Amino acid sequence: MNNKTLSILVPMYNEAEVIPVFFESIQKVLETLDINWEIICVNDGSSDLTLPMLESVCASEPRIKLVSFSRNFGKEPAMTAALDYASGDAVIPIDADLQDPPEIIGEMIAKWHEGYDVVYAKRASRDTDSVIKRNTAHWFYSLFNKVSDIPIPENVGDFRLMDRRVVDVIKSLPEKDRFMKGLFSWPGFKTTTIEFIRQSRESGTSKFNYWKLWNFALSGITSFSTAPIRVGTYLGSIIAGFSFIFGIFIIVKTLYTGIDTPGYASLAVIVLFLGGVQLMCIGLLGEYIGRIYMEVKNRPLYVVDKTIGFDSSLEETI
């Protein structure tokens, strides 16, 4: 294995608090492995001391490389940039907060050596999460895997090993609005799973609140399924069917018993219900049209301000 190279991909946004302990932990693990390695750090427009601290780390270790964005573009573009700049025969995305333990990287490489192209790192439990987050995560994975043709493994984040041929397929995918968990699963290939106990953050706070997580979940579902639009079609068909049956009932009743006094309350409920359904369907259509709008503009996913540690020939190809 000593002729192979492993790329560790680390998107960072305002992670100055964890940078020293992260690199101490990850380098300690990597130095014990019989494999060449590099660490690709992507500074996603941090506003704290993340950038100067990364520059200092890169100056002390040439195998640690830096891609720094011109502003904050988000985690998915940062992960995309890390994949673009990685040169390893295998890659492992990992967060800097050390909730994903570097100590199991050796197990992941061993599975890769056995012939697996993708090695998932799955949480054995979500005890470190709140009850609300555990339940909403379970609901999301269940809903996503029911409506999408491409299932994603439950309780598996970005932390996984992917062979170079998997990475090359992912890099060839052209969409701009990217849901990386889905894109990582899309190529297929031979996969296996190892479990680990997820720790609490080493320090700092998560950059995702519930509103961002909700938008992230909506983005994932609409990126990999047209089922929400079909729901509107089915719901409209069901309502139309009931309306037709109810219309026949009213005609028959009028012919036999005459005209009743109009029911204003029931009429208002029906109108409000149909109006709500229509607005929901229009919103779903707007979500997909918005995605089309973003795609046809064809703007770059990210803008690089500076890089450290890369060959000029590599940068010219990106």
Pairing of β 5-12 and β 36-43:
parallel
| pLDDT reported for residue 93 | 92
The domain defined by 5-224+301-317 folds into Spore Coat Polysaccharide Biosynthesis Protein SpsA; Chain A (3.90.550)
The residue behind tokens 């109108």 is: 271
**Sign of the torsion angle spanned by Cα atoms 66, 69, 72, 75:** negative
Contact 36, 1 (CB under 8 A): no
The residue behind tokens 């029931």 is: 266
Q: Cα torsion for 123, 107, 82, 20, to the nearest 10°?
A: 80
The residue behind tokens 């995918």 is: 173
pLDDT tens digit sequence for 47-75: 889 899 999 888 888 899 999 999 988 88
pTM for this structure? 0.70
CB-based contacts of 6, cutoff 8 Å, min separation 6:
30, 33, 35, 36, 37, 38, 88, 89, 90, 91, 92, 105, 109
Give how far Cα 298 sits from Cα of 166, 174, 176, Å: 24, 10, 7
| pLDDT reported for residue 150 | 73
| pLDDT reported for residue 69 | 93
Distance CA 183, CA 173 (A): 8
| pLDDT reported for residue 38 | 92
Provide the token pair at 128.
């470190």
Mean pLDDT for each 10-residue chunk of the chain (318 residues)? Answer: 83 89 89 89 90 90 91 89 90 88 89 89 68 65 67 78 91 82 82 78 53 61 66 72 70 66 61 73 76 78 86 63
| pLDDT reported for residue 177 | 77
Residue extents of the structural domains in the chain: 5-224+301-317, 227-297
Angle between helices 227-257 and 210-224 (to 10 degrees): 90
| pLDDT reported for residue 15 | 87
**Sign of the torsion angle spanned by Cα atoms 126, 50, 207, 66:** negative
| pLDDT reported for residue 270 | 72
Pairing of β 64-69 and β 5-12:
unpaired
Nearest to 102 by CA among 205, 35, 164, 28: 28
